[in-house]
Chains A and B, each alone.
Chain A
Amino acid sequence: MELMNELLEKYFRGETTLTEERELKRYFITGNVAPEHEIYRALFEEFKQEKTETANAPLKKVIPEQRKIKRIWFQTFAYTAVAASLFLLVWIQFPQATEDFAVIDGKRIENQEYVQRYTEKKLNKVSNILARSMEPMRSFKKVRQDMEPLQNVRDIKAKMNAIQSKLNNK
């Protein structure tokens, strides 16, 4: 108790350290307070009580709200970008699902069988044109085959010249 008396006197002179003041607070709030010290209990309880006072909630939101606004903008932008990407992906992947028709002579034709027959007919036509285009090539090949005997004549002539020159030498 003597120690607490000294500490209290020191406290009121403004000479205590923070550690000593914390010890005093502990004594008055949690310990068995001596009757002569009881009158000071309310003082230390008041200090403890004041430390629990808080500002109103909106005060703490001053800055976080600004950050929240920024985050909302960012999220909106991000979600929009993702949605646009998904739409593009679907649009590119499945164009036939939404365009199941053909345009023939400027008309929109949705009859699949008709379009198929029309396409085969056109393809045959293209095939015939190609076949006709290849005709001169076949003729050229035939001429080349026909001219092959002439090559043999040239070889025979060369051999005959060689034999004749040998006979002349003899």
Chain B
Amino acid sequence: MESTQFNTQILNHSDKLFRFAKSILRNVDAAQDAVQELILKLWEKRDQLDEVENMQAFTMRSMRNLCLDTIRQHREEVEIPAEIEYVEPNPYHLIERKDLAARIRLMIDNLPELQRTIIRMRDVEEMEITEIAYVTSLTENAVSVNLSRARQKIREQILNEQKRVEERVWN
């Protein structure tokens, strides 16, 4: 693969890779490092990249694998355990995160890794189910199930939050 082709097919998608890495690692600096590491690895192996059919799916899959390796290697350094469930925000959180959008981001970030990865690939990056299945090494059906669960959880949390707000108003 020539450098211009590398720029077009990989480097120009570094923002997407960054968002994806950030979603998995939940840390901006770690995501930056992971993307840089991936890009350098891909650059070193650019001669073999001509055989890749779907470059976007391939790079996203490589990105996820690299991020999961990073989590495994530095598990103790990760602030939030990978499989933690969403917890109700305490008053301090509510003051800190007044903005509903920020709270929704927290809800997504607190989903299990697979579910938050899938919901962001679909709803933020607008990827096809087949591509997500390739990236996550799941069947298409398993992707749809995880996507549905992730969306249902977010919906429940939004509805619960709405209910609490209404209760506060009426009380």
Interface residues of A (CB under 8 A from B): 11-15, 18, 21-22, 39-40, 42-43, 45-47, 49-51, 53-56, 59-60, 62-64, 66-67
Complex Cα distance, B121 from A103, in Å, reads: 86
**Sample of 16 A–B contacts (CB below 8 Å):** A11-B151, A14-B145, A18-B128, A39-B158, A39-B159, A40-B158, A42-B158, A43-B104, A46-B104, A50-B19, A50-B120, A54-B15, A60-B11, A62-B40, A63-B7, A64-B7
Given contacts A12-B151, A51-B19, A59 and B101 within 8 Å (CB-CB):
no
Give the contacting residue for B32; candidates A42, A56, A64, A67; CB below 8 A: A56
Residues of B within 8 A of A42 (CB): 100-101, 103-104, 158
CB distance from A14 to the nearest CB of B (A): 3
Interface residues of B (CB under 8 A from A): 3, 6-7, 11, 14-15, 17-19, 22, 31-32, 35-36, 39-40, 43, 100-101, 103-105, 108, 120, 122-126, 128, 144-145, 147-149, 151-152, 154-155, 158-159, 162
Most buried by A among B32, B104, B148: B104
Residues of A within 8 A of B3 (CB): 63, 67
| Nearest residue, chain A, Cβ from B159 | A39
Residues of A within 8 A of B144 (CB): 14-15
Complex Cα distance, B43 from A45, in Å, reads: 35
Interface pair A59/B18, CB less than 8 Å apart: yes
Complex Cα distance, B145 from A55, in Å, reads: 31
Residues of A within 8 A of B101 (CB): 42, 45-46, 49
Residues of B within 8 A of A11 (CB): 151
| Nearest residue, chain A, Cβ from B156 | A12
Complex Cα distance, B122 from A40, in Å, reads: 17
Complex Cα distance, B148 from A13, in Å, reads: 5
Interface pair B43/A63, CB less than 8 Å apart: yes
Interface pair B120/A55, CB less than 8 Å apart: no
| Nearest residue, chain B, Cβ from A53 | B19
Complex Cα distance, B7 from A1, in Å, reads: 45
Residues of B within 8 A of A47 (CB): 123-124
Given contacts A14-B151, A40-B158, A21 and B18 within 8 Å (CB-CB):
no
CB distance from A6 to the nearest CB of B (A): 15
Complex Cα distance, B35 from A39, in Å, reads: 34
Residues of A within 8 A of B128 (CB): 18
Residues of A within 8 A of B149 (CB): 14
Complex Cα distance, B91 from A45, in Å, reads: 24
Interface pair A62/B147, CB less than 8 Å apart: no
CB distance from A153 to the nearest CB of B (A): 99
CB distance from A13 to the nearest CB of B (A): 5
CB distance from A67 to the nearest CB of B (A): 6
| Nearest residue, chain A, Cβ from B7 | A63
CB distance from B13 to the nearest CB of A (A): 10
Complex Cα distance, B44 from A66, in Å, reads: 12
What 10 A-B pairs are tightest by C-beta distance, nearest first? Answer: A14-B148, A55-B18, A14-B147, A42-B100, A54-B15, A46-B104, A46-B101, A47-B123, A50-B124, A12-B151
